[in-house]
Chains A and B, each alone.
Chain A
Amino acid sequence: MKPTSFEYERPDSLDAAMRLLGDNPGAKLIAGGQSLGPMLNLRLATPSLLIDISRLEELRERAAHDGYVVLGAGVRHAEFEDGRVPAVLNGFFERAARQIAYRAVRNRGTIGGSLAHADPAADWPAIMIALAAEVEARSVRGSRRIPAADLPNQALETCLEVDEIITSVRVARCGEGARVGYYRLSAQPGDFAEALAVIVHDPQRGYTQAVLSGARQPPQRLGQTARAVAAHCSGNGKADLPAAVEADLTAISGTHDLTSYEWKVRRASVLRAAQEVCV
C-alpha cells in the first residue's frame, strides 16, 4: 500500500501556502496526515502536490477572548486532551479529545484537519456544531467565516472551495451553569463512532443545541430535542423528551422504522446524552 508519486512542499507562511494551493489544482493540504495518510496509502487520494501546513505558526493560535476562544486549525487533538487549550465548557475539550482514536494519532491530528475532512464518524465536526462554532477559511481571494453547521455537505465533503484553508475556529464560551451531554457509541475505545450525540445547554446565554452524527450519518442538529432539553432543564417537565427525539430522528432519516438498528442506537445515544444534561 504505497502512495502514488507526488511533490511535497512545506511553505513557511500561510500566504505562501495559499498561493501554492491556488496555483495547483491537483494539490492537497496535509496537516497531521492522520486522515489523509491512510487515503494516500490506499491510493484513494492521488494528489500531484502535498502542501504541508503542519508547522505554520499562523495556524497555532490559542487565544481566550471575552466570551469566546480562537483555536488555530493546527492545534492538535493531544493539546485539547491535555488541557493546553483555553476552555469553553469546563473539562469538555479534554473529555472529548481523549476519545478520539489513539494517542499516537492525537499527537498529530489537528482540529482543522478533522473539520476539513468531514468524516461523519469523527468527533470534532459534531462538537463544533453543538457549540455553534465558526470556522475561518482563507484563500488568496480573501477570507470568510463559515458556521460549523454549514461546513459539511455530506460525508467526507465540505463547502470549502478547493483553494481554501481553514485557519481557525472561533467558539463561544459557555456561561456559568452550562452543561454538556456527550454520548459516543463505538465497538471499542478509539474506534470511529457508530453514533455520537452532543447536547450543550447554556442557560446563561439561553442557548441549547443537540447534534447527532455517526457512521454514515453526517452531523445533524436536533431542534426539537434541544427545545425539550431546555424546557426540562428549566423545570418544565421531561415527558416529551423521547417524543422530541423521535420527531427529530424521523425528520433527519426520513423514516420511522423503530425496529431498525440505526434508529435504536441513534435514539438511545441522544437520550443518554440528554440524560447527562438533564439530571
Chain B
Amino acid sequence: MRRLHMTVNGEPVRAEIEARTSLADFLRDSRLLTGTHIGCEHGVCGACTLLMDGEPVRSCITLAAAADGREIRTIEGYEGDVVMDVIRQCFSECHALQCGFCTPGMLATAYDIVTRLPHADRSRIRVELSGNLCRCTGYLGIINAIEIALRRVHGRPAAAGATRSVA
C-alpha cells in the first residue's frame, strides 16, 4: 500500500492505495469522481484524459502514486472557469456530444487546445483531437465547437463553419 496526497479539483486529498491503482480508478472509486471515464486502459481512446498540473494526461496509464503531490483537475473541477463555460456552451450549440462517454476527455483536450493554441485552425484542431476517439458524433460537431470557442475566448469575430446543412 502507498500513502499519497494530491490536490483534486482544488481540494487536498490524502489516501492509501495499492500501488497498482491507476489515477483513473483512484478518482472514480475512492473519490467518487465518476466523470472521468475508462474506455481502453491503454492510452489510445482518450476518454480518461484529465489535467495534471494543468496539462492533459491519460489517467488510465498514470499511476495514482505517480500523481502524488500533483494538482489534478477532473471534469467535475471547472466550476466558475469561464473558458470551460464557453467550451461547454459551444459543445451544446454544435451538437458535439451524443452518448456522452468520450465527452469529459474531449473537454479536457478542448480546454488544452483553446488555452494553449489560440491560433489553431481547423486542420490543427483535427490533429490535436486525434487522441480522443468518438464513435457517435463523427467529430465535426466537436471540431466546430472548438473553432467557435477559440474565437469567443480570444475575442475574434465569427466566421462561417464548414459543415452546414444546405436547405
Contacts and interface: CB of A to CB of B under 8 A. Distances in A.
B63 A104 contact: no
Interface in B31-69: 41-43, 46, 49, 52, 55-58, 60-63, 65-66, 68
B63 A8 contact: yes
A29 to B, nearest CB: 12
B109 A30 contact: no
A5 B18 contact: yes
Given A6-B20, A50-B19, A33 B56 contact: no
Interface in B96-153: 109, 112, 126-128, 130-132
Interface in A1-39: 1-8, 10, 30, 33-34, 37-38
Contacts of A38: 41-43, 61
B154 interface: no
Contacts of A4: 20
**Is chain B's binding surface mostly helix, strand, loop or mixed?**
mixed
Q: Interface residue tally of chain B, by bracket? A: 20 to 34
Interface of A: 1-8, 10, 30, 33-34, 37-38, 40-42, 50, 52, 54, 78, 101-105, 107-108, 188-190
**7 pairs of A and B residues whose beta carbons are closest in the complex:** A102-B131, A37-B61, A38-B42, A8-B19, A190-B130, A1-B41, A104-B56
Given A33-B62, A105-B131, 18 more contacts: A2-B20, A2-B25, A8-B63, A10-B68, A37-B58, A38-B41, A41-B42, A50-B19, A52-B65, A78-B55, A101-B131, A102-B46, A103-B109, A103-B131, A104-B46, A104-B49, A104-B58, A108-B62
